[in-house]
Amino acid sequence: MKTGSPEDRALLVFCRITRGQWFNDGNKRTALMTANHALINAGIGVFSISPSLKREFTTRLLRYYESNDDVPFRSWLKDNAIGRLPGGITFAESRRLELKRNNTAMVD
């Protein structure tokens, strides 16, 4: 799971947790918090489904559950569920996160 962009990894984790049903309750909420942690930490944005897309999200999620093919679902999520941080993070913080990512990538 160390390949791909931070965005791709966050969406992959979201998919694995939701479909894995690791908990008795709260799988989607846990997956959403986990994905948001990764996206915010990477300075990318936040993962959120707008109310107008809830029905389509549910339909696509069920297709993913049935097929176990997360590629179309992740592609849709990438286009429709990640809100960018428009100036919500300072340049200094952005630079610090970038340096941290680079140092982590060198360790991996």
Could you list the pLDDT tens digit for every one of the 108 residues in the chain?
A: 456 888 899 999 999 999 988 888 888 999 999 999 999 888 888 888 888 889 999 999 999 999 999 999 999 998 888 876 655 444 566 677 788 888 876 655
Q: Any long-range contacts for 28-32 (C-beta under 8 Å, 24+ apart)?
A: none
Q: What torsion do the CA atoms of 28, 15, 75, 38 make, to the nearest 10 degrees? A: 80
Could you tell me the two tokens for 93?
Answer: 């913080």
- pLDDT in the model for residue 67: 96
pLDDT > 90: percent of the chain: 39
Residue 1 inside a domain? The answer is no
Q: What are 17-34's pLDDT values in tens digits?
A: 999 888 888 889 999 999
pLDDT given at position 78: 86
For the full predicted model, state whether its pTM sits above 0.85: no
Q: Is residue 11 one of the residues assigned to a domain?
A: yes
53 falls within a domain: yes
Residue 60 domain boundaries:
6-107
Query: Residue 73 falls within a domain, yes or no?
Result: yes
Has residue 33 been placed in a domain? Answer: yes
Instruction: Please tell me the total count of domains within the chain.
Output: 1
Q: Give the phi and the psi of residue 61 in degrees, each rounded to 5.
A: -65, -45
